[in-house]
Structure 1
Amino acid sequence: MRETLRVHMGWLHSWVGFLAGLLLVLVFASGTLAVFDTEITQWMQPEVSLTQSTTLTPAALQAAAQAVQAEEQKGLSAFLTLPSDRDPVLRVLHYDGYEFVGTALDPTTGALVPARETAGGQFFYNFHFSLRGGNQPGVQIVTFLGFCLLVAIGSGLVIHIKALWPDLILFRPFGPRPRAWLDAHLLAGVLFLPFILFMGYTGTAIHARVLLPAQPWFASHHSGKDKKEKTAPKGRVLQAGPLPPPLAPLIAQARELLQSPDGNLILFTPDEVRIFKSDAYGPFLTRDHADFSRKDGHFLRSATQSSPATATMQLVRGLHYARYAPLSLRWLYFCSGLAATALAASGLVVFLMKRRRSSGEQALFRLAEALTQTTLIGFPTATLALFWANRCLPVTLSGRTMAEIYLFFTVWSLCAAHALVLCMTRHAASGWRQQLGLLAGAGCALPLLDLVSGSHPWMQGGGVFLTTDSLAFCTGLTALFALLKLREDAA
């Protein structure tokens, strides 16, 4: 009976893992990048100085208030994010249907920072939780994938628990290809199992309401997206409100009430100014805010939520989004995210290897291999193309944000078409080698492109630029290593 259970669990793990894994790789990879979404935005906007003071002045806040009113007169619901240690500028943002975009102001003078238009790290954050498909069906699909992940982990434990310890002890990274890939799959899954389980569960719990629309009690206790997404207006306002009163005293009063020192979010309605507690203040990601009259600035109310159910979900959201995390903890999230990506990616490869001999000539298998190529190589190639586009497109190009994103999807589509043609014509090995070569070139050459572009002084914010370029270079080296191993096996 035990062996029968393992057989059934093996079938469940293989097929649920493969079908869901094609998209889970994308969710894991984009979520890993989203850990440093602010830093990616800084790399993509090199005109923004990272060494300036974050001290706010009344003049800068007045300029920001005027910018908000100007956006409202265009029919856009704008809001402010105040400077913080991670992002030292004052930003006037609005939601364009996918990302929060807008302008950056100097926090001291209020002068407009001439930064290039870009979706920045917000693109990966949006892609992580919706695959850029909106609340329906994008968020629904990703939430369902969270359930699939939990099923795959549970069934994987059942089928591997008996031989788990010997397999870990006898890890054979340079052994026969199927065994090496399976060992890598087990190692990533076991060592990072707590993180993967936690992120899978919390991500599913945060958005579970989209799959349970008929449960109002569930929706009231499970908050969906983070504070910015939920509270930032997404629609158009009917009319612009009056020019907000001086914001400096309101911010000081709100910070005292909310005990939130910096990085606050400020939303505007025609009648009110709402100052929210910073996401980065602690692990509880709240929507606590203080409200003031937009007409004369007098205090109206403070709103806090402290029930046990609410606090639990605030903690779940805070730990999942990790906006409070110091740099060292964000790197731990990043490395764990890479391990989760490797777990899903190696699972796809193992699935194909186990079936190549028996099903390699079938059209369905060749389609599966094409989809795997598109996921494992096409997506990182398109991601690097987004970074290349940021440096190559003219800085003053109109609609520059969407041009970068269109290029991302164009490159990804071309990779998919290339993989499909070669796999369906029984030249899959050539497809792997050619796309790995492209990925290696794009990754290894990005630091050189960044240097040649002269878009930023290397001494300013060098950590952000050097780290981003180094990670791209390491991606290229990894692809080059895989390419050389494929050629060695084919020889």
Structure 2
Amino acid sequence: MHKSIRQSMAWLHSWAGLLLGWLIFTIFLFGTLSYYRSQISQWMQPQWHQASISQQHAFASAWSYLQKNAPDAQNWQINVASTEQPFNRIYWQAADHRYVFKNIDYRSGQEVSLTTQGGDFFYNFHFQLYAVPVMWGRIITSFAAFFMLIALISGIITHKKIFTDFFTLRTFKSQRSWLDFHNVVSVIALPFFLTITFTGLAIFFYIYLPYGLKHNYSENTQQFFQEIAETPTQHPDSSNPSAAMLTFPQIQSILNKQWAGQPEISTVNVKQPNTRAAQIIIKQKQDHSITLNSPQLVLSGVTGKIIQNTRRNTAVSSLYAGIYGLHMAPFAQPILRFALFLSGLFGCLMIASGMLLWSLKRQLQNKQQQFHFGHYMVDRLNINTCVGLPIAVLAYFYSNRLWTLSHQINLEIPCFFIAWFLSLICALFTPKKILWQSQLAVFIVLAVCLPLLNIFTLFQQHWIHHWQDYLYYLNFDLFVWGFAALAVFIYFKIKPIQEHAKQRMIKKIQQQREIP
């Protein structure tokens, strides 16, 4: 038994952070990248760069396509083209309850086949993983988030001087340096870590705490999802007679009267199209609210009459939307979004430094310098996660520029996993002395060369013709070079820490031998 609550919490903090630390780091990194998933998708699809978006034309194109191809569907959903997504994304629920998804070029009204997942790959991976059933992926990530929350709370209890230690940073001094750095990055964005972890857990509470729903909603648990819906759920009724819906010019006329200035539209949802009960829900894109309470217009699909009191403003719906909004931050403007991005990076640094601290501490405790398979694997998994995963992300981008754009075949995800696996294989057979430097060197070379390859590819394949056009891609490339600079700093500073740890270990062994 441990002597005190702090010692117990220290043990819990150490092991909770290690056991799922590699998965938590992956979730945090991909969640952080997801703050800019639309920008990543734009960078990976330069063929859409020159498209000038006319939302009125985009809305009309999608409406015409659905009327032609899905007139008898149960509902339609249109994600209207915008600068972040320069094509219409539509889906509908067919009469046999199947969902059909299409991407439509709003200029021609024709289907387009996207050759890349872009930033959506990172976004989907961070909450449901990849190549596993969706529900199992969400259960696993929720379990990891639960461990993260335990590690955060136990860490706060363990470090009773956590805010005092925030102002103490002893650089390049073995274990103490890692501990000070771990404390600093933990305190800087601690409210963010607690918020993002708790809200991530709360979003999927109905998966791992289903009995709460059953207790409050009896056997009809679907009532909860109906209650949090933005508009009341309409159940399809086959007895509803067919009726001609409003034409697009009629809808546009109503929008012009109701919304002066033609604000940007986010989504259009049509329930029971081409029936007397048809409803059209149009939502504005601009939303500064945490509870996802963006302005919307609900019309009768037949008469054009504006339907009142259609929003869900119950306590449950507002609370759930608030939790979702805090986690996803759709309200964040550029400065706040960048601050959240930095906080996510601090989270990655906190997790990485914690795992490295665990490994270094065991190394110092191993006074006999005996081989320990568990410690060996932890070292290799640490490097594979903290450096190998970023290398795999760069491989994902390299595949886009070297293959996808020229061959229109998507090998980005296979390249991602191959690069990650090769990093692990190299880590397993690389001597510990050069373990970190070798993979950091690979990352630095790839990160420095990626923007150069981007510039060459854009000009060579005529995606851009002038340097002024390159400004569209400059922010992404500057981010990559920034990470390269950080890796260079770590490359030159991690060796002194390793040498200091080695000298401490040798000194302890000598002192032990001198004791009679």
Confirm or deny: 8 A CA contact 1:61 1:110 kept in the other structure: no
- 2:174 counterpart residue number: 177
- Structure 1, 123-132 or 259-268: larger mean CA deviation: 259-268
- CA offsets, 1:463-485, max 9 Å, x none? 55111111111222222332233
| Distance apart, 1:55 and its partner CA | 3.7
- 1:33 counterpart residue number: 33
Confirm or deny: 8 A CA contact 1:47 1:116 kept in the other structure: no
- CA offsets, 1:392-422, max 9 Å, x none? 114364552xx21121112112212322x32
- 1:140 counterpart residue number: 139
**Residue of structure 2 aligned with 1:375, choices 357, 371, 385:** 385
2:48 is paired with a residue whose SS is coil
Structure 1's 483 and 111: CA in aligned 2 closer, same or farther, altered over 3 A?
A: same
Confirm or deny: 8 A CA contact 2:80 2:89 kept in the other structure: no
**Residue of structure 1 aligned with 2:455, choices 451, 456, 476:** 451
2:145 is the counterpart of 1:151 = no
Give the counterpart letter for 1:5 in structure 2: I
- Structure 1, 13-22 or 364-373: larger mean CA deviation: 364-373
Confirm or deny: 8 A CA contact 2:175 2:360 kept in the other structure: yes
2:88 is paired with a residue whose SS is strand
- 1:405 counterpart residue number: 413
Structure 1's 428 and 65: CA in aligned 2 closer, same or farther, altered over 3 A?
A: farther
Confirm or deny: 8 A CA contact 1:41 1:120 kept in the other structure: yes
2:504 is the counterpart of 1:479 = no
- 2:508 counterpart residue number: none
- CA offsets, 1:247-293, max 9 Å, x none? 35436647987999323212456635643524642322259866667
**Residue of structure 2 aligned with 1:277, choices 283, 289, 306:** 283
User: What RMSD in Å do the two structures reach over aligned CA positions?
Assistant: 3.8
- 1:430 counterpart residue number: 434
Q: How far apart are the structure 2 equivalents of 1:77 and 1:383?
A: 37
Q: How far apart are the structure 2 equivalents of 1:313 and 1:358?
A: 47
Q: How far apart are the structure 2 equivalents of 1:64 and 1:122?
A: 22
2:269 is the counterpart of 1:263 = no
2:24 is the counterpart of 1:17 = no
1:391 is paired with a residue whose SS is helix
Q: Which runs of 5+ in 1 are unaligned?
A: 232-240
2:189 is the counterpart of 1:192 = yes
**Residue of structure 2 aligned with 1:391, choices 382, 395, 401:** 401
Structure 1's 446 and 206: CA in aligned 2 closer, same or farther, altered over 3 A?
A: same
| Distance apart, 1:30 and its partner CA | 0.8
| Distance apart, 1:49 and its partner CA | 2.9
- 2:372 counterpart residue number: 362
Q: Which residues of 2 match residues 119-268 of structure 1 at below 5 A?
A: 119-132=117-130, 133-161=132-160, 163-172=161-170, 174-216=171-213, 217=216, 246-247=247-248, 249-250=250-251, 253=254, 261-267=263-269
% identical aligned pairs: 25
- 2:78 counterpart residue number: 80
Report the number of matched residues. 460
1:175 is paired with a residue whose SS is coil
Structure 1's 324 and 368: CA in aligned 2 closer, same or farther, altered over 3 A?
A: same
TM-score (normalizing by structure 1): 0.81
Structure 1's 193 and 209: CA in aligned 2 closer, same or farther, altered over 3 A?
A: same
- 2:330 counterpart residue number: 323
Confirm or deny: 8 A CA contact 1:48 1:113 kept in the other structure: no
Give the counterpart letter for 1:319 in structure 2: L
- CA offsets, 1:90-146, max 9 Å, x none? 423459xxxx9854635xx55669896211111111112122345321111222222
- Structure 1, 454-463 or 38-47: larger mean CA deviation: 454-463
**Residue of structure 1 aligned with 2:356, choices 349, 356, 367:** 349
1:92 is paired with a residue whose SS is strand
Q: How far apart are the structure 2 equivalents of 1:92 and 1:222?
A: 27
Structure 1's 116 and 140: CA in aligned 2 closer, same or farther, altered over 3 A?
A: closer
- 1:416 counterpart residue number: 424
Q: How far apart are the structure 1 equivalents of 2:89 and 2:312?
A: 27
Q: How far apart are the structure 1 equivalents of 2:342 and 2:9?
A: 29
Confirm or deny: 8 A CA contact 1:221 1:310 kept in the other structure: no
1:277 is paired with a residue whose SS is strand
2:157 is paired with a residue whose SS is helix
Larger radius of gyration: 2
Q: How far apart are the structure 1 equivalents of 2:257 and 2:51?
A: 27
- Structure 1, 365-374 or 457-466: larger mean CA deviation: 457-466
| Distance apart, 1:391 and its partner CA | 0.9
Confirm or deny: 8 A CA contact 2:387 2:443 kept in the other structure: yes
**Residue of structure 2 aligned with 1:92, choices 89, 114, 117:** 89
Q: How far apart are the structure 1 equivalents of 2:192 and 2:64?
A: 44
Q: How far apart are the structure 2 equivalents of 1:222 and 1:376?
A: 40
Q: Which runs of 5+ in 2 are unaligned?
A: 93-99, 234-241, 500-516
Structure 1's 46 and 457: CA in aligned 2 closer, same or farther, altered over 3 A?
A: farther
| Distance apart, 1:40 and its partner CA | 0.9
Confirm or deny: 8 A CA contact 1:258 1:290 kept in the other structure: no
Give the counterpart letter for 1:445 in structure 2: C
- CA offsets, 1:214-273, max 9 Å, x none? 33248779879x999xx9xxxxxxxxx999853354366479879993232124566356
TM-score (normalizing by structure 2): 0.77
| Distance apart, 1:168 and its partner CA | 2.3
2:342 is paired with a residue whose SS is helix
Q: How far apart are the structure 2 equivalents of 1:318 and 1:415?
A: 36
Give the counterpart letter for 1:364 in structure 2: G
Q: How far apart are the structure 1 equivalents of 2:422 and 2:198?
A: 34
**Residue of structure 1 aligned with 2:443, choices 434, 439, 442:** 439
- CA offsets, 1:355-396, max 9 Å, x none? 123457211111222221221111111111111111111436
Q: How far apart are the structure 1 equivalents of 2:478 and 2:299?
A: 46
